[in-house]
Amino acid sequence: KDDTTDTIQTDAGLRTPIVAVLGHVDHGKTSLLDKVRGSAVIEGEAGAITQHIGATAVPLDVVSQVAGSLVDPEEFDLPGLLFIDTPGHHSFTTLRSRGGALADIAILVVDVNDGFQPQTEEAIRILQDSQTPFVVAANKVDTVPGWQVDEDAPIKQTYEAQSDRVRQQLDESLYSIIGELSDAGFSSDLYWRLQNFQNNIGVIPVSAKTGEGIPDLLAVLMGLAQRYMKEEMEIDVTGPGAGTILEVKEEQGFGKTLDVILYDGTVRASDTIVVGGQNGPIVTDVRALLKPRPLAEIRTEKRFEKVDELAAAAGMKIAAPDLEDAMAGAPVRVVRDRDLDDVVEEVQAELAEVAVDTGEEGIVVKADTLGSLEAMANALDEAEIPIMRAEVGDIAPRDVSMATTVDEEKHRVILGFNVDVLGDAADKAEQQDVRIFESDVIYQLVEGYEEFVEEMEREQKEAVFENVVRPARFRILEDHVFRQNDPAVVGVEVLSGTLKRNVPVGVFEGNELTRVGSLKGIQDQGEDVDEVRNGARVSVSIDGPTVGRDIDEGDELWVDVPEKHAKVLEQELREELPADEREALQMFLEKHRQRDPFWGK
Task: Round to whole Å and give the CA distance between 574 and 585.
Answer: 9
Rg of the chain on CA atoms, in Å: 35
Binding ligand GDP by CB under 6 A: which of 208, 328, 379, 499?
208
89 binds ligand GDP (CB under 6 A): no
Closer residue to ligand GDP (CB): 209 or 533:
209
Among 37, 68, 73, 143, binds ligand GDP (CB under 6 A): 143
Give the residue nearest to ligand GDP (CB): 28
Has 27 been labeled as part of a binding site?
yes
Strand partners, 272: 285
Residue 538's H or E segment, with its range, is strand 537-543
Q: Residue 40: left (phi > 0), alpha (psi -120 to 50), or beta?
A: alpha
The answer to whether residues 517 and 544 touch, using CB atoms and an 8 Å cutoff, is yes
How do 80-84 and 18-23 pair as beta strands? parallel
41-80 positions binding ligand GDP, by CB under 6 A: none
Q: Is 86 labelled a binding residue?
A: yes
Q: Between the CA of residue 515 and those of 3, 194, 507, 595, what are the distances in Å?
A: 97, 78, 7, 16
Q: Which one among 56, 207, 266, 539 touches ligand GDP, defined by CB under 6 A?
A: 207
Under the binding rule (CB under 6 A), the answer on residue 23 touching ligand GDP is yes
Alpha helices (H) in 312-441, listed in sequence order: 340-353, 370-382, 397-403, 423-431
Residue whose CB is less far from ligand GDP, 5 or 139: 139
Question: Is 88 one of the annotated binding-site residues?
Answer: yes
Which helix (H) or strand (E) segment is 451 a member of? helix 442-467
Piece of 42-50, 140-148, 260-268, 423-431 that binds ligand GDP (CB under 6 A): 140-148
- Between 29 and 473, name the residue whose CB sits nearer to ligand GDP: 29
> For the chain, give me the number of helices (H) and strands (E)?
15, 32
Minimum Å distance from CB 200 to ligand GDP?
24
| Phi and psi angles of residue 274, each rounded to the nearest 5 degrees, phi first | -115, 130
Q: Which of 6, 43, 104, 142 binds ligand GDP (CB under 6 A)?
A: 142
Q: Give, in degrees to the nearest 5, the angle at Cα 213 between 211 and 215.
A: 90
Among 9, 18, 19, 29, binds ligand GDP (CB under 6 A): 29
Q: Closest CB to ligand GDP among 207 and 284?
A: 207
Q: Which stretch binds ligand GDP (CB under 6 A): 37-45, 203-211, 255-263, 569-577?
A: 203-211
CB of 81 to ligand GDP, least distance (A): 19
Q: Is 514 annotated as a binding residue?
A: no
β-bridge mates for residue 365, sequence order: 390, 415
Taking the complex as a whole, the smallest distance from the CB of residue 531 to ligand GDP amounts, in Å, to 54
Binding segment toward ligand GDP, per CB under 6 A, in 21-29, 162-170, 534-542, 580-588? 21-29
23 has binding-site annotation:
yes
Query: How many whole angstroms separate alpha carbon 130 and alpha carbon 372?
Result: 13
229, HSE (Cβ side, Cα atoms, 13 Å): 27
Residue 26 lies near ligand GDP (rule: CB under 6 A): yes
Is 151 one of the binding residues for ligand GDP (CB under 6 A)? no
**Comparison of 125 and 428: residue with beta carbon closer to ligand GDP:** 125
CA distance 601 to 593: 10
At closest approach, how far in Å is the CB of 460 from ligand GDP? 40
CB closer to ligand GDP, 27 vs 565: 27
8 Å CB contact between 222 and 71: yes
Query: Stretches 25-33, 263-271, 393-401, 430-438: which one binds ligand GDP (CB under 6 A)?
Result: 25-33
H/E run at residue 564: helix 563-568
Q: Is 209 in the site for ligand GDP (CB under 6 A)?
A: yes
Q: Is 35 annotated as a binding residue?
A: no
Q: How many residues contact ligand GDP, by CB under 6 A?
A: 16
Contact in structure between 479 and 526 (CB atoms under 8 Å): no
Q: Which of 52, 90, 96, 140 binds ligand GDP (CB under 6 A)?
A: 140
Where residue 409 falls (left for φ over 0; alpha for ψ -120 to 50; beta otherwise) is alpha
Half-sphere exposure of 120 (CA within 13 A, CB side): 22
Residue 29 annotated in ligand binding = yes
Q: Could you tell me the smallest distance in angstroms from the CB atom of residue 111 to ligand GDP?
A: 8
Q: With binding defined as CB under 6 A, does residue 592 bind ligand GDP?
A: no
Binding site as annotated, residues for GTP: 23-30, 85-89, 139-142
Q: Which residues bind ligand GDP (CB under 6 A)?
A: 23, 25-31, 87, 139-140, 142-143, 207-209
